[in-house]
Chains A and B, each alone.
Chain A
């Protein structure tokens, strides 16, 4: 292995260490949980409130994750400031995700206004958008498990549609397909988090004086 590759790998490993805690998996799982539970809530609360109730839930999850990172993860893994190349890459990522989200919103509005235009292609279109979004995240964040999540989540809408058409489940199958995947992601995240706590206990002593 050449020195250049070794340095790149060192930087990549340092960056990947920031995902070692599994909290991003939990956050993504909680986001996907919305797709599973919102259709069930909409029959009781209506479309608006079934979506609106998720806002405080996401805020709470995000707050818990921030606190866990600050008080549990950072004292165990330490903090690092990355170089300009990584910062540029993250800025590119933010811009690309902004474009993807605007595109997804525009397509969503078109689909909502003209349901016949999209028709039976809707589950596939949704799957492709999810796959594209998560693949871009995996690429820019150097986090390969997101490719796997992307493929599984991209299959969720068409598989759910198939289950629904065969009258096996209600709500286009979303509660089942997205529910299983959300639970899987949250479980993977929690396993990673517990593994981190076991593998990296708090440093036994304070920092030595002579550093």
Chain B
């Protein structure tokens, strides 16, 4: 939503920030997925510093929103999970980036 539309609606621009992306842990995950084609669970865990459980919970939320696609397979007897950003997730992240830039650029020094 543009700044003009936001002001017309009488809402603070920050109110329209995508909170699903804005949470630090999910933002870290999405930032990492945004710059690669796909990554597995261990790679995301190492890059973000999140635990298995935390990462799993955040990925579930992102998957429910349709922002990430999770593919499970077995390598030998071990499960292996690969995650990638969907087109919808990529667009949402780009929009979030644009909104944040706009909000922060408007702040006085």
Which residues of A approach B to under 8 Å, CB–CB?
3, 6-8, 10-11, 13-14, 17, 74-84, 200, 203, 205-208, 210-211
> Are the CB atoms of B35 and A10 closer together than 8 Å?
yes
Known A10-B31, A207-B81; judge A80-B52 contact (CB<8 A).
no
Kindly list chain A residues whose C-beta atoms are within 8 Å of the C-beta of B83: 211
Q: A79-B42, A207-B78 are in contact. List 5 more A-B contacts (CB 8 A).
A: A11-B35, A79-B40, A80-B36, A80-B39, A211-B81
In the docked arrangement, what's the CA distance between A7 and B34, Å? 8
13 intermolecular pairs with C-beta atoms under 8 Å apart: A3-B97, A7-B34, A10-B32, A17-B47, A75-B42, A76-B42, A83-B35, A83-B36, A83-B37, A203-B45, A207-B79, A207-B81, A211-B70
Say whether B86 faces chain A, with CB atoms less than 8 Å apart: no
In the docked arrangement, what's the CA distance between A51 and B1, Å? 67
> Are the CB atoms of A78 and B46 closer together than 8 Å?
yes
Nearest CB of chain A from residue B23's CB, rounded to whole Å: 17
Kindly list chain A residues whose C-beta atoms are within 8 Å of the C-beta of B38: 80-81
Give per-residue flags for B34-59: 1 if the beta carbon is below 8 A from chain A beta carbons, else 0.
Answer: 11111111111111000011011101
> Are the CB atoms of A206 and B78 closer together than 8 Å?
yes
Known A17-B46, A79-B43; judge A211-B59 contact (CB<8 A).
yes
In the docked arrangement, what's the CA distance between A143 and B32, Å? 20
Kindly list chain B residues whose C-beta atoms are within 8 Å of the C-beta of A200: 46
> Are the CB atoms of A208 and B47 closer together than 8 Å?
no
Say whether B100 faces chain A, with CB atoms less than 8 Å apart: yes
In the docked arrangement, what's the CA distance between A82 and B100, Å? 26
Where chain B touches its partner, the secondary structure class is helix
Say whether B2 faces chain A, with CB atoms less than 8 Å apart: no
Which residue from B43, B52, B100, B101 sits with its C-beta under 8 Å from A207?
A: B52
In the docked arrangement, what's the CA distance between A3 and B83, Å? 23
> Are the CB atoms of B79 and A206 closer together than 8 Å?
yes
Select from chain B the residue with minimum beta-carbon distance to A203: B42
Say whether B12 faces chain A, with CB atoms less than 8 Å apart: no
Select from chain B the residue with minimum beta-carbon distance to A6: B31
Nearest CB of chain A from residue B92's CB, rounded to whole Å: 15
> Are the CB atoms of A78 and B70 closer together than 8 Å?
no
> Are the CB atoms of B81 and A78 closer together than 8 Å?
no
Kindly list chain A residues whose C-beta atoms are within 8 Å of the C-beta of B47: 13-14, 17
In the docked arrangement, what's the CA distance between A130 and B15, Å? 57
Select from chain A the residue with minimum beta-carbon distance to B97: A3
